[in-house]
C-alpha cells in the first residue's frame, strides 16, 4: 500500500538525515518518526474508530484494546443510549474514564480513556437532536489535550441539497463545525478525531475520477472540509506523516464481494490537531487488518502516537 519513497519524502519533510528515515512496519500500515533525542518523553496514543454498534462489536473492541492499548479510544456510531453503553466491559479492560453521548439505535459517540478526563461539552448541531459530538479534556501527562470526537452525517446517496435533505444536513453540519477551532497554549493543545464522512484528497479514494459525483468525495464536500480545516487552524496529522501522494483508506463498503482484493476504499476517518501538537507526532497507524475480522465494522481504527517532552 505504501512505497519506500514515503520514507525519503518524510525525511525531507522533517529535515531528518538519511540515516534517520521513517520506519515502515510492514503489513501494519504504520509510519513512525524516530526519536532523535535522549530526552525522556511521555508517550500518548489516541485511537478513533467508527464501530457501527458498540454492543454488537464489543468482542472486537476488546480484542483491539488488549492488543494495542491506546490511552484514549474515540468511538463513533455507537448506536445505543447512555445507560446501555457497555461501561462495565470497558472498566474491566482498564478504561475507567468515559464521556458518552448516545441515542437509541442511531449515531452516538463515546470517548473512553485509561487516563483521567473531564467532560467539556456535548454539542448539538443543526437542532436535529442527534448525538454526534463529545469533547473532553484529557490528562496526557506533560500537557492537557482538548479532544473533540465527531460523527459527521453521511449525507445520503444524492449529492444535491435541493432534493436530498440528508445532504443538506451534512453541509449545514460542516458549516456549524467552523465554530470548533484548534485552541492551543503552552500547557494545552487540541485534537479533533472521528468519522468525518469525507475523503478530501484524490489519494483518499480508490478512484478520484469515478467518485467525483459520489457523496463523500464531491467538490462541495472536499473543498468545504479543507476550508474548515484551514480556517480552524487544524493540521491533518495523517498527511503529516503519510505523504499526499500515497493512498490511505479507512473504510471499505460492505457491498464489496472481496473488499481486500478490490480495495475500493476511502479515507473517511481523520485525526487533526492544533499546530503546537504536530511536532510531537510520532506515528500513525491505520489498522487495515481489522476490516477482515469476524463481523467487522466497515471502518478500521486509526491510531496516532505522540511523544510529549
By residue range, what is the domain housing residue 188? Answer: 41-308
How high is the pLDDT of residue 54?
98
The mean-pLDDT minimum among 72-76, 125-129, 201-205, 230-234 falls in: 125-129
Q: How confident is the model at residue 304 (pLDDT cuts 50, 70, 90)?
A: very high
226 found inside a domain: yes
28 found inside a domain: no
pLDDT at 5 over 60: no
How high is the pLDDT of residue 30?
52
How high is the pLDDT of residue 287?
98
Q: How confident is the model at residue 141 (pLDDT cuts 50, 70, 90)?
A: confident
Q: How confident is the model at residue 209 (pLDDT cuts 50, 70, 90)?
A: very high
7 found inside a domain: no
50 found inside a domain: yes
18 found inside a domain: no
Instruction: Kindly report the CATH number assigned to the domain that includes residue 99.
Output: 3.60.10.10
If one counts the domains in the chain, the total is 1
What average pLDDT does the segment 255-277 reach? 96
164 found inside a domain: yes
34 found inside a domain: no
How high is the pLDDT of residue 115?
96
For 81-123, what is each residue's pLDDT tens digit? 999 999 999 999 999 999 999 999 999 999 999 999 999 999 9
Distance CA 113, CA 290 (A): 21
14 found inside a domain: no
Reported pTM: 0.88
Q: How confident is the model at residue 275 (pLDDT cuts 50, 70, 90)?
A: very high
Amino acid at each position: 500500500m505504501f512505497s519506500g519513497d514515503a520514507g525519503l519524502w518524510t525525511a525531507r519533510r522533517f529535515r531528518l538525515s538519511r540515516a534517520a528515515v521513517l520506519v515502515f512496519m510492514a503489513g501494519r500500515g504504520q509510519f513512525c518518526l524516530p526519536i532523535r533525542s535522549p530526552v525522556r518523553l511521555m508517550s500518548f496514543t489516541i485511537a478513533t474508530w467508527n464501530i457501527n454498534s458498540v454492543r454488537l462489536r464489543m468482542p472486537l473492541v476488546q480484542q483491539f484494546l488488549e492488543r494495542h492499548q491506546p490511552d484514549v479510544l474515540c468511538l463513533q456510531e455507537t448506536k445505543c443510549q447512555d445507560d446501555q453503553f457497555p461501561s462495565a466491559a470497558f472498566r474491566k479492560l482498564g478504561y475507567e474514564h468515559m464521556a458518552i453521548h448516545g441515542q437509541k439505535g442511531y449515531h452516538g459517540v463515546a470517548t473512553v480513556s485509561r487516563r483521567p478526563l473531564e467532560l467539556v461539552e456535548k454539542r448539538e448541531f443543526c437542532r436535529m437532536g442527534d448525538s454526534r459530538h463529545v469533547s473532553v479534556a484529557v490528562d496526557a501527562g506533560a500537557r492537557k489535550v482538548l479532544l473533540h470526537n465527531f460523527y459527521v452525517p453521511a449525507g445520503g446517496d444524492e449529492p444535491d441539497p435541493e432534493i436530498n435533505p440528508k445532504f443538506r444536513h451534512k453541509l449545514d453540519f460542516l458549516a456549524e463545525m467552523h465554530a470548533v477551532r484548534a485552541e492551543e497554549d503552552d500547557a494545552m493543545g487540541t485534537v479533533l478525531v472521528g468519522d468525518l464522512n469525507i475523503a478530501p484528497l484524490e489519494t483518499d479514494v480508490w478512484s478520484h475520477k469515478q467518485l467525483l459525483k459520489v457523496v463523500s468525495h464531491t467538490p462541495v464536500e472536499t473543498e468545504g472540509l479543507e476550508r474548515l480545516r484551514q480556517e480552524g487552524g487544524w493540521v491533518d496529522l495523517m498527511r503529516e506523516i503519510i505523504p499526499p501522494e500515497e493512498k490511505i483508506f479507512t473504510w471499505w463498503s460492505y457491498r464489496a464481494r472481496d473488499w481486500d482484493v478490490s480495495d475500493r476504499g476511502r479515507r473517511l476517518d481523520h485525526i487533526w490537531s492544533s499546530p503546537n501538537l504536530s511536532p510531537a507526532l510520532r506515528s500513525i497507524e491505520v489498522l487495515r487488518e481489522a476490516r477482515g475480522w469476524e463481523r467487522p465494522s466497515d471502518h478500521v481504527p486509526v491510531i496516532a502516537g505522540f511523544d510529549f517532552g
